[in-house]
Amino acid sequence: MKSFATVLLLALAPTLAVAAERITPIADAKRGSMVTVQGTVERITDEDEFRLADASGSIRVYVGPNWVPANEGEAVTVHGFVDDDLGPRELYARTLTRADGSVATFERRYDW
């Protein structure tokens, strides 16, 4: 029985990895959820914050207390938590992946 479970898990591993990396359109990023979004850095608004846009809309991305590791106009993928406050939606980034495949991981974790 253990070997069957192991084989099943190995067979499903690629599917699970794809599901974990599913790209959510920015307009569909729901408050209080973990999402992965992809888009272009529209504008750097502060040393630790930028605006990310795709065809569906835009969202403010917070990487603090780190510096923004991308440039305006650059295509990036961001994984993080969509703030559930009443104000404008904001994505608290956990990782940012640049077009060249380099990944910035933001060490500071937030208590949600």
What are the tens digits of pLDDT across the range 57-98?
999 999 988 899 999 999 999 999 999 888 899 999 999 999
Confidence of residue 19 (pLDDT cuts 50, 70, 90): very low
CA distance 47 to 27: 24
Cα 109 versus chain centre, distance: 14
pTM: 0.78
Confidence of residue 12 (pLDDT cuts 50, 70, 90): very low
- pLDDT at position 14 over 70: no
Specify whether the CB–CB gap between 41 and 50 falls below 8 A.
yes
| pLDDT at residue number 110 | 52
Confidence of residue 16 (pLDDT cuts 50, 70, 90): very low
Q: What string of H, E and C letters represents the secondary structure of 45-97?
A: EECCEEEEEECCEEEEEECCCCCCCCCCCCEEEEEEEECCCCCCCEEEEEEEE
- pLDDT at position 52 over 90: yes
